[in-house]
Structure 1
Amino acid sequence: MEQSTQRSLVSSSDVNGTAVYGNDGVQIGTIDHLMIDKESGRVAYAVMGFGGFLGLGEDHFPVPWGKLRFDTAHNGFVTDLTESEVTGAPDRHDDWRTDRDWERRTHEHYGVPFYWM
């Protein structure tokens, strides 16, 4: 009989609000929501909230999903993001969700593989 293993599936509603920590273990933000590619079904971005107090004045930035890894010790995500890396990312415009050139520049900026390849 095959041994059961813990499944690694998680609901998107469980990801929303999850803390994100820097490599030093300090919380740097939370995941507000995920952006999923309709064609491939892959998670493309975690739109993260940074700064603010109790959500007031908080800024949201899409971060490529490849920049995050789940850490069971923190029960949250860990990343090597820096503030300057996030604030220096390519500017978003109203149609960023359909602009492949923006996505290409963003993934290159963060140094992660394109999710669509």
Structure 2
Amino acid sequence: MAQTDSSTNTNAPGVMTGNPLIESDRVEGTAVYDPQGNHLGSIKRLMIEKISGKVAYAVMSFGGFLGMGEDEHTIPWSKLDYDTSLGGYRTDISEEQLRGAPSLSRDRDYDWSDRERERELHDYWKTPYYWGI
């Protein structure tokens, strides 16, 4: 799935209207839905590549109750499409896939420069590496 970046003024579902930019704090907390429109979870934070400024990943939280017992998984940004009819992001990811996905740690000491772990993540989701090959 590719991020919609159209700025045309049409009201078709999934097509961006007006300004194609959004502040990062407005993305955090945005709902994520499966292909059938069922709520999967929400975006906790974005992982942005320092040099290019491109969003590489969204960390998504799901499960739990009232913020307790939530799981977090890192999803390649290319797996999300903003759907204006839902007011959130739609993905082709199922809950079962999410539960079986490799995780990248939130721990401050986690080595985000470990390309092998990132390759594992991208291979699992069948997405191209954001950094190129």
TM over 0.5, shorter chain: yes
Q: One-letter code of the match for 1:63?
A: I
Q: Is the partner of 1:45 in helix, strand or coil?
A: strand
Aligned CA-pair RMSD: 1.7
TM-score (norm 1): 0.89
Unaligned runs of 5+ in 1: none
8 Å CA contact retained: 2:40, 2:95: no
Q: Deviations over 1:87-112 (max 9, x none)?
A: 22234355252211111111111011
- Which segment drifts farther, 90-99 or 18-27? 90-99
Higher normalized helix content (fraction of residues): 1
* Structure holding more strand per residue: 1
Equivalent residue, structure 2, for 1:98: 113
Which ranges in structure 2 are unaligned for 5 or more consecutive residues? Answer: 1-7, 10-17
Describe the superposition over 1:49-79 as per-residue Cα deviations: whole angstroms up to 9, x where unpaired: 0101111111111111111100000010000
Query: What is the DSSP-based 3-state SS (H/G/I as helix, E as strand, rest coil) of the residue aligned with 2:25?
Result: helix
Q: Does 1:112 align with 2:127?
A: yes
The higher-RCO structure (CA 8 Å, 6+ apart) is 2
What is the identity percentage for the equivalent residue pairs of Structure 1 and Structure 2? 47
